[in-house]
Amino acid sequence: MNELRSLRNALRRGPVIALALSVSLAAVSPVAAQSLTDRFKSLFGGKSDEQPKPAPAPGQPAADDELECPQVTVRAGASTYGVGATGKPAVGNDVRFQASITKMARECARNGGEITARIGIQGRVIAGPAGAPPSVEVPLRIAVVQGGVGEKVIASKAYRTTVDMSQGGSVPFTFVAEDLLYPVPTAAVADSYIFYVGFDPQALAPEPKARGKKK
């Protein structure tokens, strides 16, 4: 009889213990402790189960629930960026470091007559024989282009990101641009839009100073 009573008491306590454990585990997993990977999961995780959505009527912009992002690709000739020793090209033993793009992702959100695009870029910087500095600036450019017989640049913006090099000489980097804006295209041309990403050394050039007015 005593054994049966002990078993019943243990069963009654079971849910209480389980609830206490779940509360305890939640307390040690604050949202603020999200890793860098978690922060960009929405961009680089990808979704494979999305169904194609019907196209809007000809000549009409896409509705909010029908908005689709253009594909993102690396601009030809802009997939790598190398820097050589002072006064020398980035070739052979004179290479200080070289950066490359390994992965891309995009998200689009409509706000009235404009689209805000978030473009994510993952890449890697590798130190060369000439030795890389402690940190390097990586110049990037992102553009939305209307393709076709004659390409038309809809919007383009240059960015910089700093990468701290390690003793191993091979460092990954992640950059997300969140402020690329462009007008909502009509259905007639939306399918020809594309996002181009790539390295652009001109992004490191100092901005020209505003000219003063002549007196």
Tens of pLDDT, residues 77-99: 999 999 999 999 999 999 999 99
Find residue 158's DSSP bridge partners. Answer: 141
pLDDT band for position 159 (50/70/90)? very high
Q: Could you write out the DSSP letters of every residue in 105-169?
A: EEEEEEETTEEEEEEEEEEEEEE-TT---SEEEEEEEEEEEE-SSS-EEEEEEEEEEEEE--TTS
Q: Which residue has the higher pLDDT, 187 or 29?
A: 187
Token pair of 1 as six digits: 């009889």
More confident residue, 44 or 39: 44
Confidence of residue 70 (pLDDT cuts 50, 70, 90): very high
Specify the DSSP class assigned to residue 185: P
What is the DSSP secondary structure assignment for residue 47, as one 8-state letter? -
**pLDDT exceeds 90 at position 29:** no
